[in-house]
Amino acid sequence: MSVKVWIAGGGVISGIGMNLEENLQAFKDMRTGMTKMQYLQSVHQDAFPVAEVKADNDTLADMARMPETTSRTALLSLIAAREAWKSTGLGDISRYRVGFVSANTVGGMDKTEDFFKAFLPNPGGGRLQQVVHHECGAVTELVADALGVRHHISTISTACSSGANALMYGARLIRNNIVDIVIAGGTDSLTRFTLNGFNTLMILDQQPCRPFDETRTGLNLGEGAGYVVLVSDNLLAHIQPWARLSGFANANDAYHQTASSPDGTGNYLAMKGALDMAGLTPEDIGYINLHGTGTQNNDVSEGIAINRLFAPHFPAMSSTKSFTGHTLGASGGIEAVYAALALKEGIIYPNARFRRQMKELPFAPATAFSTGNDLKHVMSNSFGFGGNCSSLVFSKE
């Protein structure tokens, strides 16, 4: 019998708020985070709406109590991870065996871009090796240090499912008695690199995105960070858990580098695997936080996989990316916090801008915020490039 793993708290910074409370208020007010680009300098400034964290680097550095030269990815990470820890009421972090498992896909790319600019005209002027400490792992180390985490530190980089995979790994660290607590989630800042890249893939919507809508034409990029605090059953007396991480699974779609298979094979396997681990059947799930990017391909594959697994009992579902944009490596962490909070307060989040049901699917997402719902089990999906598909199941008890 595996040790139970509880969610003792969470923290989020995103395009709709600097902390979890602000995020929640934005959902209640139906206030989404997409605006014209304000903080990132890009030639695409006017072309694509983005969900930026509404603060410049100096302000974030102040909030994080870090030097202004720190990568934005690290600043977002530290702010959300501190909030997550504080929300648990566990107090002095040095009293526990704590791990920090963080996901990101861009690392310190915002700083690396500056290096590239200097490097390109004069390749003799710098060595690529020097950039390495701007990379993914360095961001995690920096934040772990600031948090006072000493027992275990890992960085996971599996594209847009990274954040969810951080929770899976964190839970396993606890179950194997390597640590008692893991701060797990992800962070990513918006960079020209990702914006240009997604633009070349022609999957950015020039309007605010419309996940799971028949008229959807792509995603909006966002940025942020989200972490939950996973706690072992042996510390249950010290916390007031929001939820339990009861199931998780990861599968590879084995179809294409960026596209999901038409029948959502990997999506289906991940959701099914997570339910199996939790010992649940599809009708037990009360709400699904969809991966729901708003691209033609993701939403139809995810929808078909849900249809295959859940028909005819479809739970309430929504894509919170219609508010936060797609925050890439952070999304699995941010949405895990939303999912755990959903159980704590019976929340069903709205799917903004939904108008027309997709012709391939017999169901539609929830469009209004509601609280006090009787939710016992909630699912959160995160699917990434490279065919990496993850699904998490949270339970009230």
Partner 1 sequence: MEKLMEDLKSQIIEQLNLQEVKPEDIGNDEPLFKTGLGLDSIDALELIVLLQQHYNIRIANPEQGPEIFHSIRTMAAFITAQQKQQA
Partner 2 sequence: MSNSAYITGTCIIRENKIFLNDKLVWEGEGPGLQELLRAAYDHFSGQYPKFHKMDPLSKLGWLAAEVLLKDSPVLQLPKEAVGMVLSNRSASLDTDFRYYATVKDIASPALFVYTLPNIVMGEICIRHGFKGENTFFVSEQFDAALLTTYAAQLLAETPLQACLVAWVEVLEHRYEVAMALVERSGTQPLTAAALNFLYNKKI
Residues found near partner 1 in the complex (CB under 8 A): 200-202, 256-259
For residue 122, state whether it binds partner 2 (rule: CB under 8 A).
no
Q: Of these residues, 134, 136, 209, 326, which one is catalytic?
A: 326
Q: Is 377 a catalytic residue?
A: no
**Which CB sits closer to partner 2, 114 or 345?**
114
> Token pair for residue 69?
């030269």
Cα 309 from Cα 285, distance rounded (Å)? 11
Q: Applying CB under 8 A, which part among 14-22, 60-68, 108-116, 212-220 lies near partner 2?
A: 108-116
The DSSP line for 88-147 is HT---GGGS-EEEEEE-SSTTHHHHHHHHHHHTT-GGG--GGGGGGGSHHHHHHHHHHHH
> Considering the rule CB under 8 A, would residue 301 count as an interface residue with partner 2?
no
Collect all residues with Cβ–Cβ distance below 8 Å to 61 and sequence separation of at least 6: 67, 68, 70, 75
Q: Which of 196, 206, 215, 281 binds partner 2 (CB under 8 A)?
A: 196
Please pick, from the candidates 64, 74, 156, 181, the single residue that binds partner 2 as defined by CB under 8 A. Answer: 156
Q: Is the CB of 252 or the CB of 258 nearer to partner 1?
A: 258
Is 50 a binding residue for partner 2 by CB under 8 A? The answer is no
> Which residue matches tokens 């509404």?
54
CB of 77 to partner 2, least distance (A): 14
The nearer residue to partner 1, 45 or 240, going by C-beta atoms, is 45
Q: Count residues near partner 2 (CB under 8 A).
A: 56
Site for partner 2 in 223-252 (CB under 8 A): 249-252
Based on CB atoms, which residue is closest to partner 2, 168 or 317? 168
Q: What is the CA radius of gyration of the chain?
A: 19
Q: Which two tokens stand for residue 164?
A: 């969810």
Alpha-carbon span 41 to 241, nearest angstrom: 41
The only residue of 59, 217, 258, 373 in contact with partner 2, by rule CB under 8 A = 258
Residue 384: its H or E element? strand 377-384
Query: Which tokens is 6 given?
Result: 């509880």
Q: At a CB cut-off of 8 Å and minimum separation 6, what does 94 contact?
A: 148, 150
Residue 209 annotated to the active site:
no
Q: Is 116 in the site for partner 2 (CB under 8 A)?
A: yes
Alpha-carbon separation of residue 36 from 51, 172, 191, 206, 317 (angstroms) = 8, 41, 15, 10, 28
314 in contact with partner 2 (CB under 8 A):
no
DSSP for 336-368, written as a single string: HHHHHHHHHHT-B---TT--SB-TT-S-----S
Select from partner 1, partner 2, none the partner in contact with residue 197, using the beta carbon and a kind-dependent cut-off of 5 to 8 Å.
partner 2
From the candidates 134, 209, 291, 389, give the one annotated as an active-site residue: 291
- Cβ count within 10 A of residue 268: 23
Which listed option, partner 1, partner 2, none, makes contact with residue 336 (CB within 5 to 8 Å by class)? none
Catalytic residue, chosen from 160, 209, 377, 389, is 160
> Is 41 a binder of partner 2 (CB under 8 A)?
no
User: What's the min distance (Å) between Cβ of 31 and partner 2?
Assistant: 31
Mention every residue, 6+ apart, whose C-beta is less than 8 A from residue 280.
246, 247, 377, 393, 395
Using CB under 8 A as the binding rule, whether residue 73 contacts partner 2 is answered as no
Rounding to the nearest 10 degrees, give the CA dihedral for residues 340, 345, 346, 348: -70
Q: Is 42 in the site for partner 2 (CB under 8 A)?
A: no
Q: How far is the CB of 387 from partner 2 (least distance, A)?
A: 5
Is position 63 an interface residue for partner 2 (rule: CB under 8 A)? no
- The answer to whether 160 is a known catalytic residue is yes
DSSP annotation of 282 reads G
Q: Which stretch binds partner 2 (CB under 8 A): 196-204, 218-226, 295-303, 365-373?
A: 196-204
Question: Could you list the residues that contact partner 2 (CB under 8 A)?
Answer: 2, 105, 107, 109, 112-113, 116, 120, 128-129, 131-132, 135-137, 141, 154-159, 165, 168-169, 172, 175-176, 178, 192-193, 196-197, 199-202, 249-258, 265-266, 269, 273, 384-388
Active site residues: 160, 291, 326
